[in-house]
Amino acid sequence: MPGTWVLIFFLFERSPDQADLDSDRYTPNIWNIDQDLKAMRQHITEDFEEVFKDGRRKYLSGNWKEAIECFREADKIMITTMIEEGYLEFNLSSARVLSNDNENEETIRLRQEMGDGPCRCLISFMEREGGTPPKNWKGYRPLTSK
> Tens of pLDDT along 63-88?
999 999 999 999 999 888 887 877 66
Q: Is 23 exposed, middle or buried (0-12, 13-18, 19+ CB in 10 A)?
A: exposed
Residue 11 has pLDDT above 90, yes or no: no
Assign 3-class secondary structure to 109-124: HHHHHHCCHHHHHHHH
| Cα(66)–Cα(56) distance, integer angstroms | 10
141 has a pLDDT exceeding 60: yes
Cα 80 to Cα 37, 43, 56: the distances in Å are 21, 10, 20
Under a CB-based contact definition with an 8 Å cutoff, are residues 119 and 72 in contact?
Answer: yes
**What percent of the chain is predicted at pLDDT more than 90?**
37
Taking only the tens place, the pLDDT of each residue in 87-136 is 665 556 666 666 666 667 776 677 777 788 999 999 999 999 999 999 99
Question: What is the mean predicted confidence (pLDDT) over 30-54?
Answer: 86
Taking the C-alpha atoms of residue 77 and residue 41, their distance in angstroms, rounded to an integer, is 14
Q: What is the pTM of this model?
A: 0.71
For the chain, first and last CA: distance in Å?
32
